[in-house]
């Protein structure tokens, strides 16, 4: 059964429209309370730094309270930190108010179960069914109470630090950290500083409107320039809710999620700690797959979206997976994608090996890949359009088995994503641009 409100990563949209209104959020809070804690309990709520977070938090709080559920307010907190604190507080659920890498005028809601995992499809459908029922209120004596957790940041910082061996010190490393003016602005710098690194921080002055604006993991030029300017050893870029990470080596060269996944996989394999297959997605570069094969590391591809990577890891007993965009899941360390924890695993490899970041990823040879976006008024499956199918077939015929083409609708934004990958960079760029024009013609 199709879901009415939930997408691939919770509920997301432009503030003031659709589901992103105070009235809907109050009803959502009530519906969530009824489903996850029908007999009372507590729910933790955290958010990123968008100005709309105040409004949405208050509306959710009212709805949860009317369902008889207590609320623990975490304030600005990375999404994976909320997953951890949901477990630590033995909460019935965790709620994240964030639209991740989207601009400030968007916002969204994501949920975690008591064990720090995403809600199941069945639970999301149950919440949607509850939303269609009239909202009521428990007796006054049973209303939920709200309390702010003042030490939430410190708790998460200690959890992140515990994800690497106690013997590992980052002393001597100079890191530039880009917090995307987002949820990690106050905890991210402290993690790396307390582990001994010299930390130059950028993107850590949120004003409610500048989240992801020209900074963070979707805008890497600023970080690359800063690493070179400061003569740093490397750079780390998080996104607005800090569940993604991209990195930069000392030369300013960007390392995406495929590079990070490769470095961590090699480190785990070298220490006989790699369990099960490594899981990427259909967007993962062919070079990563070939590199895994050369190392006799099983590699599998899931659909786009961290929830699908997670499902495949659980199905096949894997512990490491991720997306090119920087969602890296280290399930031997935590329960969800975590940009800070993934970065710490890479830094542990740097410290233990004595190698630079560029040396650690040096043997990964990527195939030229171009990803272009077409903005649309409403998402649709591009492969439902005969003209698009014909164009894709023509490109694949020209490539003669030496490349890949993938067209899909974004699960989080009104975009059609066009990806072409192959051996010839010019041919790949030309084919991607050709397909973009075909897609545009379908929405003209």
Cα angle 366, 237, 168 (rounded to 5 degrees) comes to 90
Strand, coil or helix: 74: strand
**DSSP state letters, 383-418:** GGSHHHHHHHHHHHHHHTTS-EEEEEE-SSSSEEEE
In whole angstroms, what is the distance from residue 51 CA to residue 49 CA?
6
Burial of 397 per CB tally in 10 Å (0-12, 13-18, 19+): exposed
Per-residue buried b or exposed e for 166-204, using 16+ beta carbons within 10 Å of the residue's own CB: eebebeebbbbbbbbbbbbbbbbbbbbbebebbbbbbbb
DSSP lists the bridge partners of residue 281 as 302
In whole angstroms, what is the distance from residue 375 CA to residue 31 CA?
33
DSSP lists the bridge partners of residue 188 as none
325 is catalytic: no
**DSSP state letters, 168-230:** ---TT-EEEEE-TTSTTTTTHHHHHHHTT-EEEEES----SS-TTSS-STT--HHHHHHHHHH
Number of alpha carbons in the 13 Å side-chain half-sphere of residue 223: 35
Query: Which residue is listed with tokens 């010190």?
Result: 169
Supply φ then ψ for residue 179, to 5 degrees: -95, 5
In whole angstroms, what is the distance from residue 62 CA to residue 41 CA?
15
Spot the catalytic one: 65, 100, 163, 349: 100
For the beta sheet containing 278-281, the strands, ordered from the edge strand earlier in sequence to the opposite edge, are 299-302, 278-281, 320-322, 328-330
Record the tokens describing residue 295, joined without a space.
Answer: 């190392």
Nearest CA-CA partner of 28 in 48, 50, 45:
45
Catalytic residue numbers, as ranges? 100
């Amino acid at each position: 059964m199709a879901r009415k409100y939930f997408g691939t990563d919770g509920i997301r949209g432009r503030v003031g429209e659709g589901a992103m209104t105070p009235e809907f959020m109050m009803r959502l809070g009530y519906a969530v309370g009824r489903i996850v804690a029908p007999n009372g309990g507590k729910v933790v709520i955290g958010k990123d730094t968008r100005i709309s977070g105040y409004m949405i938090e208050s509306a959710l709080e009212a709805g949860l309270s009317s369902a008889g559920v207590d609320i623990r307010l975490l304030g600005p907190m990375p999404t994976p930190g909320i997953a951890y604190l949901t477990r630590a507080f033995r909460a019935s659920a965790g709620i994240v108010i964030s639209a991740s890498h989207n601009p400030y005028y968007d916002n969204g809601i994501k949920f975690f179960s008591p064990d720090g995992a995403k809600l199941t499809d069945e639970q999301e459908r149950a919440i949607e069914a509850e939303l269609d029922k009239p909202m009521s209120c428990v007796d006054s004596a049973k209303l939920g109470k709200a309390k702010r957790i003042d030490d939430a940041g410190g708790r998460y910082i200690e959890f992140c630090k515990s994800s690497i061996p106690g013997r590992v010190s980052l002393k001597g490393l100079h890191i530039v950290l880009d917090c995307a003016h987002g949820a990690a602005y106050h905890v991210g710098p402290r993690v790396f500083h307390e582990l001994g690194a010299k930390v130059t921080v950028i993107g850590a002055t949120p004003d409610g409107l500048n989240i992801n604006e020209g900074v963070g993991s979707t805008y890497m030029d600023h970080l690359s320039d800063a690493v070179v300017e400061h003569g740093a050893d490397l750079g780390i870029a998080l996104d607005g809710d800090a569940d993604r990470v991209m990195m930069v080596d000392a030369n300013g060269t960007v390392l995406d999620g495929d590079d990070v996944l490769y470095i961590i996989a090699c480190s785990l394999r070298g220490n006989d700690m790699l369990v099960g297959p490594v899981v990427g997605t259909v967007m993962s570069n062919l070079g990563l797959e070939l590199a895994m094969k050369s190392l006799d590391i099983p590699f599998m591809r899931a659909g786009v979206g961290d929830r699908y990577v997670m499902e495949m890891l659980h199905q096949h007993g894997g512990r490491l997976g991720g997306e090119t965009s920087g969602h890296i899941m280290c399930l031997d360390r935590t329960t969800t994608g975590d940009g800070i924890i993934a970065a710490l695993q890479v830094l542990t490899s740097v410290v233990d090996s004595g190698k630079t970041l560029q040396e650690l990823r040096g043997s990964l040879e990527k195939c030229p890949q171009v990803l272009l976006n077409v903005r649309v008024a409403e998402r649709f499956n591009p492969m439902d359009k005969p003209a698009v199918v014909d164009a894709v077939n023509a490109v694949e015929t020209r490539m003669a088995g030496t490349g890949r083409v993938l067209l899909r609708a974004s699960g989080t934004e009104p975009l059609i994503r066009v990806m072409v990958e192959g051996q010839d960079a010019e041919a790949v760029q030309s084919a991607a641009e050709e397909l973009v024009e075909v897609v545009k013609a379908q929405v003209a």
